[in-house]
Structure 1
Amino acid sequence: MSAVREALDALRLVDHHCHGTVTGDLGREAFEPLLTEGDAWPGVSPFDSPVGVAVRRHCAPVLDLPRHAPAEEYLARRSGLGWREVQLRFLRASGADVFCVDTGYSPEPLTTPHEVAEAAGGSAYEVVRLESVAESVRAAGVEPDAYADAFRAAALDAVRRPGVVAVKSVAAYRTGFGLDPARPPDAEITEAARHWLLRGGRLDDPVLVRHLLWTAVDLGLPLQLHTGFGDNDIRLHRADPALLTDWLHLTAGTIPVLLLHCWPYQRQAAYLSAVFEQVYLDVGLTLHHVGPARAGAVLAEALEITPFRKLLYSSDAYGVAEFHHLGALAFRQGLAGLLQERVDADELSLPDALRFARWAGRDNALRIYGLNDD
């Protein structure tokens, strides 16, 4: 095993973006859809996809099963252990001890940040999803001309909760990033709010999404932005982070902007991190979807020009605890292979490689979110 891989395997990771896991045992019909960002197709199992194969290869041993255990055996063992034991095993196996948990999406009951931390034997913090805040303001009832102030007040209340370290937007899903980058005037916000409050539904008005992003700047906390790969609700061509360029010019010198996931736009995200002081990135959920076999290839493209102080680790684990372990394993293996290759080619010294590995896996996130390294 290489020196870089040994160091990364021993490093306690900071998972700067993840979710809770389902609080209940899952049969096949409930488990399989959580493996994939796609819809279920009759006769096609998510176990027969790159992520499904990676789960059977790399997660089965954590459940005391042989590598490549058949799906039926895997699910039977998982059910026999129970969801709490499964969660504990995969969180401990991940080797992460700090988690920033997005609590804004929970169509089913999920573990809380406290429960994630308890299972992992570490600590957890909250990431506030701003679209959820806006939708709670609408649900509570507000007049159009009071919406802007009501949203700002609700967002401030949310980020003042103990343990909140960042905010997040899913603008990529709602409107895409091809927005007018300027802060919208009050009259436009009021008119847009009038239409949205009458229509209802989720926040997907371009003016109100712009207002949300500028409110994030005013809040002063790091802003996480989903970019690139997601489920079929997203329009991928509108989730290219390069579309944020004009907005990033206008917000220079304000808050850290963390581009999540990025695939297939990891090179565009790398460019933004190289030319904008406030931009950082991860490749997030991409790593468990491509699996350890291809993690190095994705990271290689992300790190072609990304400053080493700008790369972070996240699992984006949601619903099933397997992704905590699989994401961490893919990150460690992929980054170690990439850095060691450069060391072996004398393009990088070993001390620098070890330093950069620690930055990406831990120190960058601790610095950006203002967390103590206990």
Structure 2
Amino acid sequence: MGAVREALDALSLVDHHCHGTVAADLGRDAFEPLLTEGDAWPGVSPFDSPAGVAVRRHCAPLLDLPRHAPVEQYLARRSELGWREVQRRFLSVSGTDVFCVDTGFAPDRLTTPREVAEAAGGSAYEVVRLESVAESVRAAGIEPDAYADAFRAAALDAVRRPGVVAVKSVAAYRTGFGLDPARPSDAEVTGAARHWTARGGRLDDPVLVRHLLWTAVDLGLPLQLHTGFGDSDIRLHRADPALLTDWLHLTAGTIPVLLLHCWPYQRQAAYLAAVFEQVHLDVGLTLHHVGPARAGAVLAEALEITPFRKLLYSSDAYGVPEFFHLGALAFRQGLAELLQERVDADELSLPDALRIARWAGRDNARRVYGLPDDLPEGG
């Protein structure tokens, strides 16, 4: 094992974007859909995918099973241990001691940020999803001409909760990024709110999404933006972060913008991080879906031109705790292989490689989110 891998294995990670896990024991019918961003297909198991294979290879031993254990054996052992013990094992072994948890999407009962932290023996912070705030405002029956002020007040209340460090938008799902970059006028917002309150449903009006993004700027906290890969609700060509270029010009000098996931647009995201001071990125979600075997290839593309203080680690684990472990494992292995290769080729000094590893795994997130300097550093 090389020196970079040893250092990364000993580094306690900051997972700057993740979710809770389902707080219940899961049978096969409930577990399998959580392995994929796709829909369930009759006769096709999500276990027969790169993510499913990685679970059986890298997660089975943590349940006291052999590598590549059969699916039935794997699921039976999960049930035998119970969801709390399964969660504890995977989160504690991930070597992550700080979690920034998006609490805005919870169709099932998910573990809270506090429960995530307790399972890992670490600490957790909250990320507020602004679309959820807006939809709560509409559901309260607000008049259209009062929507803008009501949303701003509700968003301010949400971000003032103890432990909130960032906000997030899923504009990529709702409208895509091909939006007019300018801040909408009060009249535009009122008109759009009138149409939305009349028809109901989720927030997917382009004017109101623009208003949400500009409200995020006004809030002053880092803004996380889902980009690229997601479930079938997304239109991938509209989730290219390069479409944000004009908006990033207009918001220069305001808040940090964190581009989440990015695949297959990691190169576009890298370009934005290279030319806009406020832009940072990760390739979370992608890593546990491609698995440790391909994580290095994705990270190599993301780091072709990305400044080293701009790459962050995230797992984007959701639903099943296996993804906390797989995300961390893929990140450590992929980044270590990439950096060690450059050290061996004398393209990078070992001290520089170790600094980059620490920045990406921990310190960049601490700086962007203003996390305490005295976070524990043990592995």
TM-score, length-normalised on structure 1? Answer: 1.00
Which residue of 1 is the match for residue 261 of structure 2? 261
How many residues end up aligned between the 2 structures?
374
Residue 330 (structure 2) pairs with residue 330 (structure 1): yes
Per-residue deviation, residues 216-267 of structure 1 (Å, max 9, x unmatched):
0000000000000000000000000000000000000000000000000000
Distance of 2:315 and 2:19 partners within structure 1: 9
Per-residue deviation, residues 240-297 of structure 1 (Å, max 9, x unmatched):
0000000000000000000000000000000000000000000010000000000000
Which residue of 2 is the match for residue 150 of structure 1? 150
Per-residue deviation, residues 316-336 of structure 1 (Å, max 9, x unmatched):
000000000000000000000
State the secondary structure of the residue aligned to 1:234: coil
RMSD (Å), alpha carbons: 0.4
State the secondary structure of the residue aligned to 1:338: helix
Per-residue deviation, residues 27-72 of structure 1 (Å, max 9, x unmatched):
0000000000001111110101000000000000111111000110
Distance of 1:64 and 1:306 partners within structure 2: 40
Per-residue deviation, residues 343-364 of structure 1 (Å, max 9, x unmatched):
0000000000000000000000
Per-residue deviation, residues 86-107 of structure 1 (Å, max 9, x unmatched):
0000000110000000000000
Which residue of 2 is the match for residue 353 of structure 1? 353
Distance of 1:66 and 1:273 partners within structure 2: 42
Distance of 1:296 and 1:64 partners within structure 2: 28
Distance of 2:337 and 2:160 partners within structure 1: 41
Distance of 1:218 and 1:174 partners within structure 2: 21
Per-residue deviation, residues 193-233 of structure 1 (Å, max 9, x unmatched):
00000000000000000000000000000000000000000
Give the C-alpha shift of residue 141 in structure 1. 1.1
State the secondary structure of the residue aligned to 2:65: coil
State the secondary structure of the residue aligned to 1:46: coil
Give the C-alpha shift of residue 338 in structure 1. 0.2
Distance of 1:102 and 1:289 partners within structure 2: 19
Per-residue deviation, residues 169-213 of structure 1 (Å, max 9, x unmatched):
000000000000000000000000000000000000000000000
Distance of 1:291 and 1:234 partners within structure 2: 22
Which residue of 2 is the match for residue 175 of structure 1? 175
Distance of 1:89 and 1:140 partners within structure 2: 41
Distance of 1:118 and 1:32 partners within structure 2: 26
Distance of 2:64 and 2:261 partners within structure 1: 30
Unpaired runs of at least 5, structure 1: none
Distance of 2:346 and 2:31 partners within structure 1: 45
Paired residues for 1:223-372 under 5 Å: 223-372=223-372
TM-score, length-normalised on structure 2? Answer: 0.98
Which residue of 1 is the match for residue 377 of structure 2? none
Distance of 1:203 and 1:232 partners within structure 2: 18
Distance of 1:347 and 1:45 partners within structure 2: 43
Answer with 59-68 or 165-174: which moved more. Answer: 59-68
Distance of 1:268 and 1:297 partners within structure 2: 16
Which residue of 1 is the match for residue 23 of structure 2? 23
State the secondary structure of the residue aligned to 2:47: helix
Distance of 2:42 and 2:151 partners within structure 1: 43
Give the C-alpha shift of residue 139 in structure 1. 0.6
Which residue of 2 is the match for residue 83 of structure 1? 83
Per-residue deviation, residues 133-154 of structure 1 (Å, max 9, x unmatched):
0000001110000000000000
Which residue of 1 is the match for residue 74 of structure 2? 74
State the secondary structure of the residue aligned to 1:117: helix
Distance of 2:326 and 2:258 partners within structure 1: 22
Unpaired runs of at least 5, structure 2: 375-379
Give the C-alpha shift of residue 373 in structure 1. 3.5
State the secondary structure of the residue aligned to 1:218: helix
Distance of 1:50 and 1:356 partners within structure 2: 28
State the secondary structure of the residue aligned to 1:141: coil
Distance of 2:176 and 2:46 partners within structure 1: 28
Which stretches of structure 1, 4 residues or more, deviate above 3 A after TM superposition? Answer: none
Distance of 1:203 and 1:373 partners within structure 2: 37
Distance of 2:154 and 2:19 partners within structure 1: 22
Distance of 1:99 and 1:166 partners within structure 2: 12
Distance of 1:40 and 1:140 partners within structure 2: 34
Distance of 2:336 and 2:185 partners within structure 1: 48
Distance of 1:44 and 1:290 partners within structure 2: 18
Give the C-alpha shift of residue 79 in structure 1. 0.5
Which residue of 1 is the match for residue 140 of structure 2? 140
Pick closer, same or farther for the CA change 1:88–1:373 going to 2, 3 Å.
farther
Distance of 1:23 and 1:62 partners within structure 2: 19
Percent identity between matched residues is 91
Which residue of 1 is the match for residue 122 of structure 2? 122
Distance of 1:150 and 1:179 partners within structure 2: 23
Distance of 2:17 and 2:176 partners within structure 1: 20
Distance of 1:224 and 1:338 partners within structure 2: 26
Distance of 2:372 and 2:74 partners within structure 1: 38
